[in-house]
Amino acid sequence: MICAGIDAGSRTIKIVLVDAARLEVLAAGVTDQGVEQDALATRLFHRLLDGNGLRRQDISRIVATGYGRNIVGIADTTITEITCHACGVRHVMPEAATIVDIGGQDSKLIRVSRDGRVRDFAMNDRCAAGTGRFLEVVAHRLGVPLGSLGDLAAASRRPAAISSMCVVFAETEIVGLLASGTAPADIVAGVQMSLAERVVAMAGREVAEPVVFTGGVAMVPGMAAALGRALGRAVTVAPDPQMTGALGAAILAARAEAKQRGDAEIPS
């Protein structure tokens, strides 16, 4: 029995196929998001099937999650990204107590109980200054590839203070810093700290360890360290941090399928 999880995020679509009995990942893929979300998800899904010698009828259940989950026509059902991220992270890092997920257009802090259930969460989906979009704007303004921001930040000697709470005003602030001679490395380091401080504002006082970092922004070098400094906690980047939502969706699909069939309960 094989199940699939589809995470239709704001910037990318991720799909994971799992062996439902063993909860082992059989295949995974990512494609850029676009206007035709349903078609993009369907094409990626069939590409994974073809690449692994599978047919549509081999997939027992599909769960969609993420920003565009309600548009994915091939899904059997949808589950919120909060639940899916918690499930995916706890599968790869069972001791995780706090999950920080920063994607293209939102950021989330999820508190997980000892049994793996979501205790509560905080979410920022209204301001791009706390998301990966901020890093995209900075890379564009500096004229450098997004993937090089980590190396730039590592060279910083005095991170710039980015005080604006809105990405539009922050971009204007960055233009002013460049005009005043502030080094690009210091600007990038300042932006990373600004992102991290917005997570701290969401978290409040309670941040239990271990803290696990997921989402596309977790793949940017230097972000985990900036987040750790801001939180005052050790921060660990999850394996394949971009895929935890899709993985969680696939695992939840497997559990639902097993329950429907009356099979023995699939382990957490």
Q: What is the pLDDT of residue 254?
A: 96
Place of tokens 């957490």: 268
The Cα–Cα gap between 216 and 220 comes to 8
For residue 178, give both structure tokens: 């460049």
Closest by CA to 31, choosing from 17, 14, 9, 53, is 14
Residue 181 burial (CB < 10 Å; 0-12/13-18/19+)?
A: exposed
Q: What is the pLDDT of residue 264?
A: 53
Judge whether residue 88 has pLDDT over 90.
yes
Q: Could you tell me how far CA 114 lies from the centroid of its own chain? A: 22
pLDDT, tens digit, for every residue of 25-71? 999 999 998 889 999 999 999 999 999 999 999 999 999 999 899 99
- CA distances from residue 17 to 77, 107, 263 in whole angstroms, order as listed: 16, 25, 20
Domains of the chain (ranges, CATH numbers): 1-93+240-268 (3.30.420.40), 95-237 (3.30.420.40)
For residue 243, give both structure tokens: 């895929």
Question: Is residue 152 very low, low, confident or very high in pLDDT (cuts 50, 70, 90)?
Answer: confident
For residue 253, give both structure tokens: 């699909």
**DSSP secondary-structure letter at 160?**
P
pLDDT, tens digit, for every residue of 217-250? 898 888 898 899 889 999 999 999 999 999 999 9
